[in-house]
Structure 1
């Protein structure tokens, strides 16, 4: 399909669980559920040195991969939460912990760099349905995006490269080894557990941490 050369050196020693499945996409929590006393180390853990620019709490940071089926499944409940909570800021960072994810990271950050994020949902759906040469070309034609210039940005633009390096360094330094991963207010990384194994319970913890 498209071929871009990585300029990021990935640490070979890191163990990657990769696109692991968050358990939040199962049946809804039953009504009348007993409140949970959330515990650090069980439900969430502290992370640091997450660059969020000038964004102020409350906000979420999502680390994801365009090709991850679990990230794709998580997108609708995430967007539903964002729609219901417009006061909560949001940053999305593309994971590049695996060399196989680097080209997709370049595509994502080039979309931002070329001011085409309005087409992100369409691109994500393309990955979900199965991206190939034909529909990838059609994406550029439909949205009047210069494909050659776009790929030049993806391959060589300094901001694209720096964004990927930043994502890699943040995830590796904080031992984040799977996607999707949600960090609340730049501090609290949600841990998969029985208490976050459906959307209702997962976002209940998100709301708790947003107010923490």
Structure 2
């Protein structure tokens, strides 16, 4: 694949990137205690969330959330099921997914994600994500195209050269670097409020309670 001109910016970020886990308590009692504790706490800017700017909503209107993720991130993979369950409970909630481009490996995977968008094949996203969960191999990669009837050669050409793919990668990189977002998964509510990892958010319920709260703030 042809490489895009992100190398100089990406190289500055080696060592600063990470997956971050949205932790779940080990037992139901701990989970209930965590949720109750958080419900009594006051959310604080700079502690539980912070203000970000310059986020391209890609046409989404309030209320919406933006997820920055990496296909190969185990924590992003673990977060997918509760994230989809949360979305299902709020059908009016817009959703924008952006692939992190914070190092060369993530950039290569980002090409695949944005090419999937550009070729109108996002119906196969779950299948692609499962490949990364299983462990990507050449055979599994080839089989993905065969079973989903996608022209692999044309797809890879778009992944490597398409102007829209490159622009989306550059935009994601700019948003994350400008706002000092160095780990994934990361959720931004209404293009303004970034959830900050914190001990108060040690369960999915507590995490999404904060997302609910941030939706009530002025966009």
Normalised-by-shorter TM-score class: over 0.9
Q: 1:30 to 1:53 in 2, by over 3 A?
A: same
Confirm whether residue 25 of structure 1 aligns to residue 24 of structure 2.
Answer: yes
Contact residue 6 and residue 103 of structure 1 kept, 8 A: no
Alignment match, 1:130: 135
- Equivalent of 2:159 in 147, 154, 161: 154
The CA RMSD over aligned residues, in Å, is 1.6
For these two proteins, the number of residue pairs brought into alignment is 210
Q: CA offsets per residue over residues 12-64 of structure 1, 9 Å max, x none? A: 43464423322333446316714221000000000000001331111100000
**Which sections of structure 2, spanning at least 5 residues, go unmatched?**
none
* Alpha-carbon distance between aligned partners in 2 of 1:10 and 1:101, rounded to the nearest angstrom: 15
- Shift of residue 171 of structure 1? 0.2
- Shift of residue 6 of structure 1? 3.6
Query: When the two structures are superposed, what TM-score results if normalisation uses the length of structure 1?
Result: 0.94
**Which sections of structure 1, spanning at least 5 residues, go unmatched?**
none
- Mapping of residues 181-200 of structure 1, within 5 Å: 181-200=186-205
- Shift of residue 183 of structure 1? 0.4
Q: CA offsets per residue over residues 142-194 of structure 1, 9 Å max, x none? A: 01000000000000000000000000000000000011100011000001111
Confirm whether residue 105 of structure 1 aligns to residue 110 of structure 2.
Answer: yes
Query: Which segments of structure 1 move beyond 2 Å, counting only runs of 4 or more?
Result: 3-7, 9-29
Confirm whether residue 80 of structure 1 aligns to residue 85 of structure 2.
Answer: yes
Contact residue 22 and residue 75 of structure 2 kept, 8 A: no
Larger helix fraction of residues: 2
Query: When the two structures are superposed, what TM-score results if normalisation uses the length of structure 2?
Result: 0.91
